[in-house]
Amino acid sequence: MFDKKILVIDDSETVLKTIKTFLEIEGFDVIVAHSGTEGFKIAKDEIPDLILTDFVMPNLNGFHLAKLLHADSDTKDIPVILISSKGEKVGDKFKELTGIVDYLVKPFSTKQLKEKIDNLFG
C-alpha cells in the first residue's frame, strides 16, 4: 500500500509519464491530470498529500490553479509545488501570492524532485 498520494498536473504527456513513473518507483500513489481544470476537480475529489503542477497550461494555468486551491476550504492545506521554466523569477513571488510551498525549475532532475518531496514529507 502506498503511503502518500501525489497529484501531478501538466499538459505535457511526456512530463506526466516521466514524473509518474519516477514517483511510482519511489513508492508513491500517483494521480495525473492534463489540465488545471481537471487537476482542481481531482484535488477536491481525492485530497492528495501533495500537488505538483506545471505553470504554463491552457485555460487554468498553475498560478490561477494554486490560488484556487489555496482559497478552497477542501484543498487549502494541500502543499503545492509549482513546476516552471520561468525559474526563480516566478517561484519566489508565487510563494507569496499563491501559498505554494516550493517550486522546481524546468528542466529538473529526478534527484531535485525527490529532494523537494523529502523536504515536505521528511
Closest CA to 96 of 57, 67, 121: 67
Q: Which three cell numbers stand for residue 26?
A: 519511489
Given a contact cutoff of 8 angstroms between Cβ atoms, the answer to whether 30 and 24 are in contact is yes
Q: Domain holding 69: CATH number?
A: 3.40.50.2300
Total structural domains in the chain? 1
What range defines the domain where residue 50 resides? 5-121
- Residue 61 is classified by DSSP as -
Given a contact cutoff of 8 angstroms between Cβ atoms, the answer to whether 62 and 54 are in contact is yes
Rounded to whole angstroms, the Cα distance separating 5 from 29 reads 5
pLDDT, tens only, 30-72: 999 999 999 999 999 999 999 999 988 988 998 899 999 999 9
pTM listed for this prediction: 0.93
Rounded (10°) CA dihedral 106, 107, 113, 115: -100
